Amino acid sequence: MPVNFTTHITVDKRSLLAVIVPVYRQDGTHYEVNVKGYPRFYMSYSPLGRYDATGDEAGNIPYEMVLAISDAIEASKK
């Protein structure tokens, strides 16, 4: 897996650049996500079988963005 990667995601019919940085912790790998215009947030693998937003900022992130980032993380692992 790369140290970090960028991807273009589509949210509300807008293309946004997302910078995703893997962060390795004792409880697993988390991903720091940076998208211009949105607060920085983290994602980790959830029991739902995909990556989901975690932390205090999770409620401020559009669900469509969370799904797009989850797909991008999965694609980077292939």
* pLDDT band at residue 5 under the 50/70/90 scheme: very high
State pLDDT tens for residues 27-75: 889 999 999 999 999 999 998 889 999 988 888 899 999 999 999 999 9
Report the pLDDT value the prediction gives residue 35, as an integer from 0 to 100: 95
Report the pLDDT value the prediction gives residue 2, as an integer from 0 to 100: 54
The domain locations on the chain are: 5-76
Kindly state the tokens that stand for 32.
């720091």
**How many CA atoms within 13 Å lie on the side-chain side of 29?**
12
